[in-house]
């Protein structure tokens, strides 16, 4: 059961531009297992929102069912949350986004919730380019039902049950790229330095921003032989780039050597700096990202970082040409055509 | 032999091949009669197919205004050789078989108790037109012309309709007139023209309109203020969204920017469709979906979430014949139980049962008020018969002074002035309904977590059995509140005390009420009647059953689903409710209901035992 966090905080906690401290972005205490990767991701979300001075109530957090989907309770306690049904968060988030295009939507899901029961909805949310951040907390195992293999478990990976997984995994980053996702990143829950700026970039992205975060399950899939355990990921993780984030008002002061850094300007004028580690990856070319994912896999490595970004993409409201204000704010005046029009319609049916 | 002339009272049926353009010609014919001031009720009987299979169009013409199906066919227009044997067999004695005699009727199909009129439509068209498509299309207009002569109709009315149809494409008017006149002239020259069935001008239509229920539902959603719609195509509900789209484009497009004051998402499946509706409603927009039986099955899990998490959701279910894919282009009222108790666990869902296009419009518009007031799913249970057939109806009405009832929603100001802790599921007013907040309202107050899991009054997850029971009891209390807000039953009492009653709902209304008229006229049997308009049942329904020794329940499904629902909700002795069931996929007829009730009453020497508790 969730309980309240002690209210005492250090009186000199730093405040952000809105005057909030990081405490204002926290949620209830987590009930997940100690050491769960998911808690690190929650912390990264809190940190990203705090640093970006996002008003907590302007965020809506949504999830499906599973360990990962429990986490929205554990961050942004001043935001509305919606823990929906298994695998169906994308549709609820799409509908919510239709009603009010002005909020920030953060969807949290897991590998079962996304790659198995929710695959259909995930794919179509990508395809529509719903303006949201979609974080898949990927641990390659069904935690809440105690240790079954999931669709992202690597072939041959051995879970706590001791059976090697006989099936090919679904690579969610690759699939998102193929489906035309406009922002795709891969990261690791244990790498806060990489994850926080990726989340910030995803928040700024207009359109569907997909972040696959490898998030070890300490209880069921953190054993030797597992490819989603802490040891394995730490040994096999390779970064394509590191990211830092410059808010719109700030001046870019650091100079980078040409060829090693790339600046991507987001729609609100802020800039993300990508420090290239891998020269071969062009993050504006979908095929390049797909190729590099495969190359690294061949070398038994997991490629992390921002893999692809299309900052010109059109999010769903633009393709649908809906009005600029939230649809939910419309009243009888805009919505109801009135009695005289109805009488005209009657006349056409006489 | 001199035949009695029957004016404005007959049933005519057209047997066509689908995909040949016959639908618009048939509609032209029925609309002309409507324009001549005579009530009609056309029924499309079509296959789940795009081209090449038999399709029928049955029109009841009745100046008394009986709009249900009567039963039996007086005039059959046989244009489809595939179905001719069956078509000719369906005619009443003394009926007319008017057919395309390009290929003469084989001797073994001939019936001698009917009149057969052969007109070689195809042959005439072959002579008049070179183009194959023209031959097919104008053959349809030609038989309308022939019928105008045979039934002694006003050609000017038909011509006016053609002019209206081709407004903006005037070039097409003259060729249509030509085909129409040709058909008229050929038939006029026949010795038995006009036939014994005639159409004469009347003034029985008044200000009524001819509209299908799906258009009325689509309009109801526009007027009810739906701004988000998500759906997945399925017969027979698709045209609800088509019409919503059409009228939104017309009325909700900003004239300056061209931007839309609405969003329609064609979802990847019904699960996603209802998920989007729930997401949008949770976020404060009026939203709805339209579907049919298979979609309802898929939406069940989400309907449970909307019930338990208390999210206003509007769903139009245009029922078709089940189970499974069933007969997808045939009608039924067979989702009564699955909707009433939709989803696993203890649930009760609000259902509305419109009988006419006007009710489709009103129920759909009202559903948004009810959903937001009651914070629960509202399902409108139409069916294929009402949804897809033009139905004569009172005109649609709207009161411009009406404001939407957005239910209990706290604003930023409300929250700012609030000292106590906000509890989403606290029953502050004692009606079982808590206060909602929309996401994004206030920086520090009013946020809560929506979930399908058990929670306390403050929306905090709990596995406490006590809290769970409290919450479930509050939902029951809300259910009682709902029974007073939903549309109330329509009760008609005979002028004498009456021990037997009839209950009907939805599209069984017109045929049931007609059957009651004839039961009195022919057998001097008078029965009280009650039309159920909504679930939860109002107290008046229980009272009505209580007042009668026994009650017939007329419905269009095999398992007497409404009867089961009544028995279950009122804990009634099943013997007091006598099922009258019709479920072959065609709309129930007045004749069938009359015979069933008559036979039961005549056979039942002693009344069913009435148990008292």
Residue B608: pLDDT over 80: no
Domain match, B357 and B426 both: no
Domain match, B128 and B240 both: no
Per-residue confidence (pLDDT) for residue A268, from 0 to 100: 80
> What is the C-alpha to C-alpha distance for residues B556 and B568, in angstroms, rounded to an integer?
19
* pLDDT tens profile B267-300: 999 999 999 999 999 999 999 999 999 999 999 9
Per-residue confidence (pLDDT) for residue B542, from 0 to 100: 97
> What is the C-alpha to C-alpha distance for residues B54 and B19, in angstroms, rounded to an integer?
10
Distances (CA, A) of A98 to A93, B284, B475: 8, 10, 29
Tell whether B318 is within 8 A of chain A (Cβ).
no
CA distance B187 to chain A (A): 28
CA distance A268 to chain B (A): 20
Residues of B within 8 A of A90 (CB-CB) are 272, 275
Q: How many residues does chain B have?
A: 613
Residue B219 lies in a domain: yes
Per-residue confidence (pLDDT) for residue B340, from 0 to 100: 98
Domain match, B449 and B546 both: no
Residue B462 lies in a domain: yes
Residues of A within 8 A of B440 (CB-CB) are 57-58, 60, 80, 100, 102-103
| E-strand stretches of B460-594 | 490-492, 500-505, 528-532, 534-535, 550-555, 577-581
CATH value at residue B312: 3.40.50.970
Could you report the predicted ipTM of this complex, rounded to two decimals? 0.95
Instruction: Name the β-bridge partners of A92.
Output: none
Distances (CA, A) of B274 to A92, A209, B303, B382: 8, 24, 8, 18
Residues of A within 8 A of B305 (CB-CB) are 84-85
Domain match, B30 and B143 both: yes
DSSP for B33-81 reads HHHTT--EEEEEE--SSSSSSEEEEEEEEETT---SB-SSEEEEEE--G
Residues of B within 8 A of A96 (CB-CB) are 279-280, 282-283, 439
CA distance B484 to chain A (A): 25
Residues of B within 8 A of A317 (CB-CB) are 263
Percentage of chain B exceeding pLDDT 90: 95
Measured between CB atoms, which of A94, A332, A349 is closest to B404?
A: A332
Residue spans of the domains in chain A: they are: 22-329
Listed by number, the residues of chain B in 448-487 with a beta carbon closer than 8 Å to a beta carbon of chain A are 448-453, 460-463
Question: Do A350 and B209 count as a contact with CB atoms less than 8 A apart?
Answer: yes
Domain match, B504 and B594 both: yes
Measured between CB atoms, which of A83, A100, A321 is closest to B284?
A: A100
Domain match, B416 and B455 both: yes
Tell whether B302 is within 8 A of chain A (Cβ).
yes
Last residue of a domain, one of B198, B232, B248: B198
Please compute the mean of the pLDDT values over residues B229-247 and round it to a whole number: 98
Q: Which domain holds residue B512?
A: 490-603
Last residue of a domain, one of B485, B513, B542: B485
Residues of A within 8 A of B267 (CB-CB) are 91, 124
Question: Do A57 and B284 count as a contact with CB atoms less than 8 A apart?
Answer: no
* Residue of B227, B302, B458, B460 to mutate, interface with A, max A Cβ within 10 Å: B227
> What is the C-alpha to C-alpha distance for residues B377 and B308, in angstroms, rounded to an integer?
10
Measured between CB atoms, which of A83, A321, A339 is closest to B398?
A: A339
Matching CATH number, A22-329, of 3.40.190.150, 3.30.360.10, 3.30.9.10, 3.40.50.970? 3.40.50.970
> What is the C-alpha to C-alpha distance for residues B529 and B545, in angstroms, rounded to an integer?
10
> What is the C-alpha to C-alpha distance for residues A39 and B412, in angstroms, rounded to an integer?
32
CATH value at residue B534: 3.40.50.920
Question: Do A322 and B263 count as a contact with CB atoms less than 8 A apart?
Answer: yes
* pLDDT tens profile B56-97: 999 999 999 999 999 999 999 999 999 999 999 999 999 999
Nearest residue of A to residue B437, measured between CA atoms: A80
Please compute the mean of the pLDDT values over residues B41-60 and round it to a whole number: 93
Angle at B460 between CA B456 and CA B465, to 5 degrees: 40
Residues of B within 8 A of A318 (CB-CB) are none
Spatial neighbors of B491 by CB under 8 A, at least 6 apart, are: B528, B529, B530, B531, B540, B544
Listed by number, the residues of chain B in 239-278 with a beta carbon closer than 8 Å to a beta carbon of chain A are 247, 250-252, 254, 257-263, 265, 267-269, 271-278
Indicate the SS3 state at residue A170. coil
Question: Do A120 and B222 count as a contact with CB atoms less than 8 A apart?
Answer: no
Distances (CA, A) of B34 to A92, B15, B199, B200, B448: 46, 21, 10, 11, 56
Domain match, B461 and B323 both: no
Counts of helices then strands in chain A (DSSP H, E): 12, 13
Measured between CB atoms, which of B223, B265, B403 is closest to A98?
A: B265
> What is the C-alpha to C-alpha distance for residues B523 and B93, in angstroms, rounded to an integer?
23
> What is the C-alpha to C-alpha distance for residues B407 and B369, in angstroms, rounded to an integer?
7
Residue B138 lies in a domain: yes
CATH value at residue B89: 3.40.920.10
Q: What string of pLDDT tens digits covers the 350 residues of chain A?
A: 445 556 666 778 899 999 999 999 999 999 999 999 999 999 999 999 999 999 999 999 999 999 999 999 999 999 999 999 999 999 999 999 999 999 999 999 999 999 999 999 999 999 999 999 999 999 999 999 998 999 999 899 988 888 899 999 999 999 999 999 999 999 999 999 999 999 999 999 999 999 999 999 999 999 888 889 999 999 999 988 888 877 776 665 555 565 577 788 887 888 877 777 888 899 999 999 999 999 999 999 999 999 999 999 999 999 999 999 999 999 999 999 999 999 999 999 99
Residue B544 lies in a domain: yes
Domain match, B230 and B317 both: yes
Q: How many domains does chain B have?
A: 4
Residues of A within 8 A of B405 (CB-CB) are none
pTM, full prediction: 0.95
Domain match, B249 and B159 both: no
Burial class (CB in 10 A: 0-12, 13-18, 19+), A2: middle
Sheet containing strand A271-276, edge to edge, reads A241-246, A271-276, A261-265
Residue B440 lies in a domain: yes
Per-residue confidence (pLDDT) for residue B412, from 0 to 100: 97
Residue B206 lies in a domain: no
Residues of A within 8 A of B452 (CB-CB) are 83-85
> Do B38 and B61 contact (CB within 8 A), yes or no?
yes
Residue B257 lies in a domain: yes
> What is the C-alpha to C-alpha distance for residues B159 and B28, in angstroms, rounded to an integer?
10
Tell whether B303 is within 8 A of chain A (Cβ).
no
Tell whether B230 is within 8 A of chain A (Cβ).
yes
Burial class (CB in 10 A: 0-12, 13-18, 19+), B131: exposed
Domain match, B541 and B426 both: no
Supply the mean pLDDT for chain B. 96
* Residue of A29, A101, A343, A349 to mutate, interface with B, max B Cβ within 10 Å: A349
Measured between CB atoms, which of B275, B282, B398 is closest to A342?
A: B398
Give Cα B102 to chain centroid, integer Å.
38
Domain match, B58 and B17 both: yes
Per-residue confidence (pLDDT) for residue A266, from 0 to 100: 82
Lowest mean pLDDT among A4-18, B332-346, B570-584: A4-18
Domain match, B544 and B474 both: no
């Amino acid at each position: 059961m969730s309980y309240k966090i002690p209210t005492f905080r250090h009186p000199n906690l730093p405040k952000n531009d809105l005057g909030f401290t990081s405490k204002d972005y926290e949620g209830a205490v987590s009930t997940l297992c100690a050491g769960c990767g998911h808690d690190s991701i929650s912390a990264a979300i809190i940190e990203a929102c705090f640093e970006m001075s996002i008003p907590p109530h302007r965020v809506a957090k949504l999830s499906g069912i599973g360990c990962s989907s429990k986490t929205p309770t554990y961050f942004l306690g001043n935001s509305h949350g919606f823990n929906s049904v298994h695998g169906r968060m994308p549709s609820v988030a799409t509908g919510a986004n239709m009603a009010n295009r002005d909020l920030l939507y953060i969807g949290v899901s897991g590998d079962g919730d996304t790659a198995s029961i929710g695959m259909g909805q995930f794919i179509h949310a990508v395809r529509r380019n719903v303006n949201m951040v979609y974080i898949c907390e990927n641990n390659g195992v069904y935690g809440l039902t105690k240790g079954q293999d999931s669709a992202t478990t690597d072939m041959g990976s051995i879970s706590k049950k001791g059976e090697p997984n006989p099936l090919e995994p679904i690579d969610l980053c690759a699939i998102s790229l193929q489906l035309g996702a406009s922002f795709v990143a891969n990261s690791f829950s244990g790498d806060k330095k990489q994850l926080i700026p990726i989340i910030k970039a995803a928040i700024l992205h207009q359109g569907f921003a997909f972040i696959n975060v490898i998030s070890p399950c300490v209880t069921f899939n953190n054993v030797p032989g597992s490819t989603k355990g802490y040891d394995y990921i730490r040994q096999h993780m390779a970064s394509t780039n590191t990211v830092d984030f410059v808010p719109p008002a700030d001046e870019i002061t650091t100079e980078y050597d040409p060829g090693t850094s790339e600046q991507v300007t987001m729609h609100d004028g802020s800039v993300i700096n990508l420090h290239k580690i891998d020269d071969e990856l062009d993050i504006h070319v979908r095929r390049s990202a797909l190729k590099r994912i495969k190359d690294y896999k061949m070398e038994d490595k997991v490629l992390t970082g921002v893999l692809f970004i299309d900052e010109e993409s059109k999010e769903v409201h633009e393709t649908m040409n809906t009005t600029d204000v939230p649809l939910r704010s419309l009243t009888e005046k805009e919505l109801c055509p009135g009695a005289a029009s109805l009488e005209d319609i009657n006349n056409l049916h006489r | 032999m001199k035949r009695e002339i029957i004016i404005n009272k007959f049933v005519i049926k057209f047997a066509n091949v689908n995909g040949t353009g016959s639908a618009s010609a048939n509609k032209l014919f029925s609309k002309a009669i409507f324009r001549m001031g005579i009530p009609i009720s056309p029924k499309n009987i079509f296959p789940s197919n795009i081209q090449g299979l038999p399709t029928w169009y049955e029109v009841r013409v009745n100046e008394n205004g009986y709009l249900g199906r009567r039963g039996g066919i007086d005039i059959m227009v046989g244009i489809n050789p595939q179905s001719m044997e069956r078509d000719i067999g369906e005619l009443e004695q003394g009926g007319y078989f008017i057919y395309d005699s390009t290929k003469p009727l084989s001797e073994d199909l001939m019936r001698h108790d009917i009149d057969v009129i052969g007109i070689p439509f195809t042959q005439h068209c072959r002579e008049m037109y070179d183009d194959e498509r023209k031959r097919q299309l104008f053959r349809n207009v030609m038989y309308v012309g022939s019928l105008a002569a045979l039934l002694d109709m006003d050609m000017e009315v038909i011509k006016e309709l053609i002019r209206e149809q081709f407004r903006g494409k005037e070039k097409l008017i003259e060729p249509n007139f030509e085909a129409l006149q040709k058909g008229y002239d050929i038939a006029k020259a026949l010795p038995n023209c006009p036939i014994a069935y005639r159409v004469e001008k009347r003034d029985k239509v008044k200000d009524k309109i001819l509209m299908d229920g799906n258009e009325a539902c689509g309009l109801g959603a526009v007027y009810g203020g739906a701004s988000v719609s998500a759906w997945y195509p399925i017969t027979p509900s698709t045209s609800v969204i088509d019409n919503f789209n059409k009228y939104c484009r017309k009325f909700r497009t900003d004239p300056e920017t061209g931007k839309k004051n609405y969003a329609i998402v064609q979802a990847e499946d019904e699960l996603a469709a209802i998920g989007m509706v729930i997401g949008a409603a949770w976020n404060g927009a009026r939203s709805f979906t339209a579907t049919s039986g298979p979609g309802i099955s898929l939406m069940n899990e989400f309907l449970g979430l909307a019930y338990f998490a208390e999210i206003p959701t509007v769903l139009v279910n245009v029922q078709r014949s089940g189970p499974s894919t069933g007969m997808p282009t045939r009608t039924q009222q067979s989702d009564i139980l699955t909707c009433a108790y939709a989803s696993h666990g203890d649930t009760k869902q609000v259902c509305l049962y419109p009988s006419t296009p006007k009710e489709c419009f009103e129920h759909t518009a009202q559903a948004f008020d009810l959903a937001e007031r009651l914070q629960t799913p509202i399902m409108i249970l139409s069916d294929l018969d009402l949804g897809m057939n033009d139905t004569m109806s009172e005109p649609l009405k709207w009161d411009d002074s009406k404001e939407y009832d957005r239910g209990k929603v706290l604003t930023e100001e409300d929250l700012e002035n609030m000292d106590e802790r906000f509890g989403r599921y606290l029953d502050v007013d004692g009606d079982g309904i808590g206060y909602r907040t929309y996401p994004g309202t206030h920086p520090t107050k009013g946020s809560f977590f929506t979930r399908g899991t058990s929670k306390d009054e403050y929306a905090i997850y709990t596995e406490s059995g006590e809290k769970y029971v409290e919450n479930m009891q509050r939902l029951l209390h809300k259910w009682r509140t709902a029974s007073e807000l939903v549309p109330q039953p329509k009760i008609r009492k005979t002028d004498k005390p009456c021990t037997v009653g009839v209950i009907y709902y939805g599209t069984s209304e017109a045929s049931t009420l007609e059957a009651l008229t004839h039961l009195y006229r022919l057998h001097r049997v008078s029965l009280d009647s009650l039309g159920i308009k909504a679930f939860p049942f109002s107290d008046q329904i229980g009272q009505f059953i209580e007042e009668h020794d026994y009650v017939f329940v007329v419905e269009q499904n095999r398992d007497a689903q409404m009867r089961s629902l009544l028995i279950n909700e009122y804990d009634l002795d099943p013997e007091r409710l006598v099922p009258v069931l019709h479920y072959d996929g065609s709309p129930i007829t007045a004749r069938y209901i009359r015979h069933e009730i008559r036979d039961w009453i005549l056979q039942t020497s002693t009344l069913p035992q009435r148990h008292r508790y």
